[in-house]
Structure 1
Amino acid sequence: MQKNRLRLLIPAITLLLVLISALYVQTAQDGLIQTSADVQDKTHFIYIWLIYLIPLAALFILPWHFKFQPLIQKPLKSTRILLISSIVYIVLVFLTPQPYFELFYIYKLVLLLMIPLLVIRREKSSILSTAQPFINWSLAPIVYVIWLVLYFSPLNNLSHISYDEPYLFVLIFTVISILMNAVLEEVFYRVWLQTRLEHLGILASVCISTILWSLWHAGIQGQGNLLELSAQALVTHALAGIFLGFFWTKYRNVYLLILIHICMNFPLYLITYWFK
C-alpha cells in the first residue's frame, strides 16, 4: 500500500514542482531562462520544452515491441547509497564558492563514480546484461533524429555561441565534458540510479532521477538565491531529464542515451570555426 502511494505521490510532487517553477520563471523573468552556463543570452522556456516534448510524444506513439518489465523488482542496498551520493553532490555544488567552481568535477568523480562503483561491484550484477532480453531499439534512432533536428533548430539558441579561448582548449574541454557530463551522468542517473528505483514504478523512478539530475545544475548556472536557482534548473532541465529517463526505460540503449547527452553539451563552435 505504501509503495502504491509513493508511485502516485512522487510524480504528483514532481509535476507540482515543475509547474510552480515555470510559474515563477514566467512571472519573475518573463519566462526567459539561460539554457547553458556557456551562454548569457536567454530564451523562453516553452521553446526548450517543445524540443523535448515532441520527441517524448513520438517515443510513446511508436510501438513498444514488448511488454515492459522493470529490470529491478525490489530495493537493493546500493539504491540508498546512490541516493545519498546524489543529494550530497547537489549540496556540495551549492555550497562551493564560485572561484572554486571546478571542484564539482572532483565531487562528481568521487560521488557519482568511485563510491557507486565500489558499492555496485559488491552486488555482482550487471544492469546492461539484465536488460538484454528486453532490448528492441530498432525505432530508437527515429526518436533520436526527431530530437536532434529540434535541438539544433531555431527553437534553441545555439548557433551564435562563441568562445574567447583557443580552439584546442575548447576541443580538449569538450572531450572532458563528454566523459564527465554525458557519459558519467547518464550512467549514474539513468542506468544505475533510475533503474534501481524502478521497483517504485517506472514513472516514479524517472521523476526521482530527473529531479536529482536537474537540481545539481542549479549550483553552476545563473545567479540568485537557492529557490531561484532551483526553479530555473527545474524549468531548464526537468523536461530533458524526463525525456532521457523514458528513452532509457523504453529502449535500454545506453549508447544512444549518451549520444543525446553528448549533443546537448557539444559546442557548435568546433564546427562553425572552420567555416568562418
Structure 2
Amino acid sequence: MRSRVFTGVGLTLLVAAPSTLLLTGHTRIAVSADEEAGAVPLVVVVLPVLVGLLLVRLVPPGLPALPTPLAEHRRPLVRQAAGLVLVAVAFSAVSLALWSVPGGELLYGPVKLLFLLGAGWLLVRRWPAPSPAGRHRARIPARWYWLGPLPAVAAWGYLHFYSPLGGEQDLSGYEAWDPVELAVAALFTFVTASVAEELFYRVLLQTRLEALLGRWPAITATALLFAAMHVHRYGDGPFWEVTAVVLASNGGFGLFVGYLWARYRNPWWLIVVHGAVNALNLLPILLG
C-alpha cells in the first residue's frame, strides 16, 4: 500500500511538472546546463518520452515484473538498496556543493565516478547477493534482447532530435570549440554520464528496488533520484521553475530508460540512449 501511494505521488509530480511549465507559459526549457546549448520546445521533451513508454509497453516480448527474492537473499538486497539510495542522495548534495564553489565543477566528473561506480561497487561487494536481473534477463530470447527496444528508441530519438516540432537548433556556441577539445569533452561526458549514471541508477539501484518494491515504485523512485542529481546543473532561478524543469526533463527521461531497463534488461541500449542525449547533436560539428 505504501509503495502504491509513493508511486502515485511520484508520478503525479512527474506529470505535473511539464503541465505547470506549459500553463505558466514556459513553452521552451533548457535541458542542458552548457552555456552553448539553447532552450528547446517543451513538446520535444515530453512527447518522445510518452511515445517511447507506449512502445516499450506494446512491443513484445517484454519481461514481466521481477519475482519476489528468496528469504535468504532479501536482507542483503535490502542493505544494498538502502546503501545505494544513500549514495544517490549524498552524491546529489555533494554535486550541489561542488557547483556552488569556484572550480568545483572540475572535480565533478571524478567525484561522480567515485560515488556512482566506486561506492556502488563497494556496497554490492560488501553485502553480496545474486543479481535480481541475472535470471530475469535470461528469460528473453537473444533476438528480442537486442531488437525489442529498437522501435521505442528509434521513435524517441526521431521525435527528440529530428522532429519538425523541434525546429532548428542553434549549435553555433559549440562551433567556437576546438574540435579536439570538444571530442575529449564528449568522451569524458560519455564515460561519466552515459555509462556511470546508467550502471548506477538503473542496473544497480533500480534493479534492487524492483525486487523489493515492484516495478513502478522502483522506476518512479529511481527517476526522482536521477532528477535530483541534476538540480545543480540548472543554476539560479525560482525554486518551482528549476524543480519543474528538472522533473520534466531528467525525471521524464528517467521514466523512459527505467521502463526500457525493466522490460528488456539490456544495459547497452540505456547507454546508447543516454549517450545520444549528451552528444548526438554534436556529431555534425565533430564530423564536419
Q: Same fold (TM over 0.5)?
A: yes
Shorter-chain TM-score: what band? 0.7 to 0.9
Equivalent residues in 2 for 1:216-231, closer than 5 Å: 216-231=229-244
Counterpart in the other structure of 1:130: 135
Give the alignment partner of residue 171 of structure 1, picking from 183, 190, 193.
Answer: 183
Give the alignment partner of residue 69 of structure 1, picking from 66, 77, 84.
Answer: 66
Counterpart in the other structure of 1:252: 265
Q: Counterpart of 2:234 in 1: which secondary structure?
A: coil
Task: Tell me, yes or no, if the aligned pair for 1:82 and 1:116 is still in contact at 8 Å.
Answer: yes
How far 1:131 moved relative to its partner?
3.5
* 1:89-120 Cα shifts (integer Å, max 9, x gaps): 11122233153223322331222111111111
Gaps of 5+ in 1: none
How far 1:192 moved relative to its partner?
0.3
How far 1:274 moved relative to its partner?
4.2
Q: Find out whether 1:102 has 2:106 as its counterpart.
A: yes
- Of 248-257 and 41-50, deviating more is 41-50
Task: Tell me, yes or no, if the aligned pair for 1:22 and 1:31 is still in contact at 8 Å.
Answer: no
Task: Tell me, yes or no, if the aligned pair for 1:72 and 1:196 is still in contact at 8 Å.
Answer: no
Q: Percent identity over the alignment?
A: 23
Cα RMSD for the two superposed structures? 2.4
How far 1:135 moved relative to its partner?
2.9
- Of 156-165 and 229-238, deviating more is 156-165
Counterpart in the other structure of 1:161: 171
Cα 1:151–1:22 shift into 2, 3 Å: closer
Gaps of 5+ in 2: none
Q: Which amino acid aligns with 1:44?
A: P
Counterpart in the other structure of 2:42: 45
Q: Counterpart of 1:266 in 2: which secondary structure?
A: helix
- Of 178-187 and 49-58, deviating more is 49-58
Task: Tell me, yes or no, if the aligned pair for 1:85 and 1:112 is still in contact at 8 Å.
Answer: yes
Counterpart in the other structure of 1:120: 124
Q: Find out whether 1:149 has 2:158 as its counterpart.
A: yes
TM-score relative to the length of structure 2: 0.84
How far 1:183 moved relative to its partner?
0.5
Aligned length: 271
How far apart in 2 are the matches of 1:68 and 1:15? 18
Q: Which amino acid aligns with 2:52?
A: P
How far 1:85 moved relative to its partner?
0.7
Cα 1:23–1:69 shift into 2, 3 Å: closer
Q: Counterpart of 2:154 in 1: which secondary structure?
A: helix
How far apart in 1 are the matches of 2:238 and 2:107? 20
TM-score relative to the length of structure 1: 0.88
How far apart in 2 are the matches of 1:272 and 1:101? 24
Q: Counterpart of 1:248 in 2: which secondary structure?
A: helix
Q: Find out whether 1:93 has 2:105 as its counterpart.
A: no
